[in-house]
A and B are shown apart, each in its own frame.
Chain A
Amino acid sequence: MNEQTYIDLYGQYAETLKNNAAPALNAARDMFFERFCRSGFPTRRTESYRHTDFGDVFAVDYGLNLNRLAFPVNPYEVFHCDVPGIQSYMYFVVNDMFYSDARTAAQQLPAGVIIGSLKQVSEERPELVEPYLSRLAERKDDPFVAFNGAFAQDGFFMYVPAGVTLDRPVQLVNIMRSDADLMANSHNLIVLEEGASAKLLVCDHAMGGARFCSTRTTEVFLGAHANYEHYKLESTSENMCNICSLLVQQQAGSNLLANIITLHNGITRNTVQIDLDGEDCDTMLCGMTVGGRHQLIDNTTAIMHNRPGCRSNELFKYILEENSMGVFNGLLKVAPDAQKTAAYQTNRNILLSPTARIRTKPQLEIYADDVKCSHGATTGQLDESALFYMRQRGISEQEARLLLMFAFVHDVIENIRVDVLKERIRLLVEKRLRGEGSKCDSCSFCK
C-alpha cells in the first residue's frame, strides 16, 4: 500500500465518504485531498519527518469504515478507565465512530455546553462548527493533516460558551478495537469562547492483536481569557501507529496547558502547533515518554508567537530503553512585532541502553528584538554519583534507578492540574518504569 492506494480509494469512494461525513468536514475535503496528492505520505526526505519512518506502517492493508457502520463494541463494557475516580464527563470514539448511548446522553452538562459527535452537531448547529472547522488545519502544511482532512468523517466536538466553566474534566477515550487491521481517521473540534474554561483528558487505547493506524486532528480555539487544559495519555500497543495533530489558536489573555504523555505505544507522532494570535497569552506545553522495545515517539511542536507579550514554556522529557527511539523537534517562532515575548524550551533525555536513540532538534526563529528566549537540550544517563549515594543508604540499585527516573519526569507530572489525574499518572508512570504491564490494564482484552 502507498499513497496511490489511498488516492485511488478517494477517487472511487469520495461520494460515500462525503455522504457519511460531517457536512462541515466536506467543505475543505477536496482541497486537503489535493494537498495530499502533492505531498503523499512523508518520507525521510520530508522536513520534520526525517527521523520517523512510516514505511512499514503504510505497507499494511488497513480496512477503512467509510460507510460508517457501527462497531459491535460497547465501550462501557470493555473499557476500564485508567483514571478511576476522576469524575469526568466521559465520551468515547470507537475506532473512528463517536459512540453514544443512553448513558452518554444522560450526562448533565452545564447550561450551554455542547459535547457530542462532530457530525451530529455539524448537522444540527452548523453555526457553531463552520466558523472554526479546518481553519487551523488549512494553515498547517503537514501530510497527515492533509490526509486526515481528506478522509476524516466524524469526531468529537466540544463547545463551551462565553464565561462558562466546565465543573468537571471531560474525558475523551479513543479506543481502537477490531479483529482485522484497521485505519481510523477522526477530526475533533474544541471551541472555548471568551472567558470559558475546560479541561480535557484524551486517552488513547488499542485492544486486540490487529494492526492499527489512526490519524486524529484536533483543532482548539481559545477565545480571549479562556482557560484550557489538554492532557493526552497514550496507552496503546506495539501494533499501533498513532498520528495526532493538535492545533491550537489562542486569543488575547488565554491560558493553555497541554501535557502529552506516552507510556505504551508503537509508532506515535504528535504534531503540535500553537498559534498565539492575541496578546498576553500563556502557554505551557509539556510531555514525557517512557519508551522500550521498538517504541518510537515523535513529538514535533511549533509555538508561534505572533503577537506581543505572550509567555510560553515548553518541557519534554524522554526516558528510552532497549531499542526505542525518541524524536523531538521544537520550533519556536517569534514574529517581528511580537515584542516582550518570553519563551523557554527544554528537552531532556535519558538513554538507558546503548541501542536507545534520541534525535532532538530545537529550532528558534526570532524576528523580534525585545524578547527573552532560551532553549536547552540534554541527553545523558542516570547520575552515577546519585545512584551510589542512594545505594550507600541501603536502597537497591534497581529501586535507586527507579527513584531517579521518577525524579527525572517529576516536573512534567507536576504540570497536571487535576489532582486525581496527577496521582493516577504518577502511579501509571511508576508502573511503566517498573516494567509492569507492558500493555495497559484499561481494557478487558489486555487483562
Chain B
Amino acid sequence: MKTMMLEIRNLHAAINGKEILKGVNLTVNAGEVHAIMGPNGAGKSTLSSVLTGHPAFTVTEGSVTFNGKNLLDMPPEVRAREGIFLSFQYPVEIPGVSMVNFMRAAVNEHRKHNNLPPLSASDFLRLMREKKELVEMDNKLTNRSVNEGFSGGEKKRNEIFQMAMLEPKLSILDETDSGLDIDALRIVANGVNKLKTPDNASIVITHYQRLLDYIVPDFVHILYDGRIVKTGTKELALELEEKGYDWIKQETV
C-alpha cells in the first residue's frame, strides 16, 4: 500500500502577472523517484519555486497537499521544516554567513519543529563530518561562507550535503547534475541514492538522461509550456534523448 506524499492538482502560478504554470497535476508517493524533463523555460524551476513557497510567485488556481496538509498555506520555512528540500538550480552565495552557523541554525530549526532539543556542539560537528563524507565534500568548503566563491560544481555538491544534513521527506533536485564533472556526478548521485528510503521521495529535474542512469526514476514526466504533457517510465527519457522536444511539440499541438 503506497502512502501519498505530494498531490498537485491543477496548479496555476504566475509571476508579475504572467502565467507560467498552467494546470500542473502530479502525485508523488513515498519511496518514489520522479524525473521531470522539459525544454528551457517550460516552468520546471517555477514549479520548484512554487512548491517551496517563493514569494515572487502567485498561485492563481489549484491545490497542493503534502502529507495531508495544505502546503500552499505554509510559509517557506515551515514547508522546509515539514520536509521539503530544494536543491537550487542556482545556489545563492551568502558572504559573511558561515556554513557552520547556517547549517546549525537550519538543523536546529528542523529539530525544534519536531520537538527535539538542539544538537550539542559536538553532536552537530559529528553530524557535519558524517554527511560531508557521504558527498565527499572538502573541509575547506564547510569552513567558508555559504557558497561564497564556490565553483559551480562545488555549489551543487553543497546542496546535496545540505540535503543529507536535513534528511528531507521530499527533495526536489533542480538540475543538480548541470555543472558537475563525471566523477562528481557519480558521487552526488550515489549520495542521493544512499539517502533514499521507503519513506522519502524525490523529484529530479534534469535535461540529461545520463543522470537517470544513476538515479533511476520510477516515472518520467515531460513539462511543456506550464503543463505535464506526457508521463512514462525511464524509457521515456531515452526516447526524448533520441527525438528531442519537437516530437512532443507535434504531439501536443
Contacts and interface: CB of A to CB of B under 8 A. Distances in A.
Interface of A: 383, 385-386, 388-397, 399, 403-404, 406-408, 410-411
A406 B101 CA distance: 11
B166 A394 contact: yes
Nearest to A409: B96
Contacts of B64: none
B47 to A, nearest CB: 14
21 contacts: A386-B93, A388-B54, A388-B55, A388-B92, A389-B92, A389-B146, A390-B105, A391-B53, A393-B102, A393-B106, A393-B109, A393-B166, A394-B77, A394-B80, A395-B109, A403-B101, A406-B96, A407-B94, A407-B97, A407-B145, A408-B96
B75 A397 contact: yes
Contact of A392 (B52, B94, B113, B145): B52
Contacts of A406: 96-97
Given A389-B94, A404-B97, A399 B145 contact: no
Contacts of B110: 394
Contacts of B109: 393-396, 399
Contacts of B96: 404, 406-408, 410-411
Nearest to B93: A386
B76 A388 contact: yes
A390 B102 contact: yes
A391 B94 contact: no
Given A388-B76, A403-B97, 4 more contacts: A389-B91, A392-B86, A392-B88, A397-B77
A395 B94 CA distance: 14
A32 B76 CA distance: 61
A403 B102 contact: yes
A339 B14 CA distance: 58
Q: Helix, strand, loop or mixed for chain A's interface?
A: helix
Nearest to A396: B77
B36 to A, nearest CB: 18
A202 B54 CA distance: 45
Nearest to A411: B96
Nearest to A399: B105
B95 interface: yes
Contacts of B76: 388, 391-392
B94 A404 contact: yes
Given A385-B92, A386-B92, A391 B97 contact: no
Contacts of B80: 391-394
Contacts of A391: 53, 75-77, 80
A119 B53 CA distance: 65
A394 B81 contact: yes
Contacts of A389: 88, 91-92, 94, 146
A394 B107 CA distance: 8
Contacts of A411: 96
Contacts of B106: 390, 393-395
Interface string B142-172: 0001100000000000000010001000000
9 closest Cβ contacts across the A-B interface?
A407-B96, A393-B106, A394-B80, A410-B96, A389-B92, A391-B76, A394-B109, A391-B77, A407-B97
Contacts of B81: 394
A403 B94 CA distance: 10
Contacts of A396: 77, 109
B113 A394 contact: yes
Nearest to A402: B105
A203 B145 CA distance: 31
Contact of B77 (A385, A386, A395): A395
A190 B166 CA distance: 54
Q: Which of B54, B77, B95, B101 has the most CB of A within 10 A?
A: B77
B164 to A, nearest CB: 13
A383 B92 CA distance: 10
A407 B105 contact: no
A391 B54 CA distance: 9
A374 to B, nearest CB: 19
A393 B94 contact: no
A390 B94 CA distance: 9
Contacts of A407: 94-97, 145
A113 B110 CA distance: 55
Contacts of B88: 389, 392
Nearest to A388: B54
Q: Which of A389, A393, A407 has the most CB of B within 10 A?
A: A393
B113 to A, nearest CB: 7
B59 to A, nearest CB: 16
Nearest to B92: A389
Contacts of B55: 388
Contacts of B162: 393
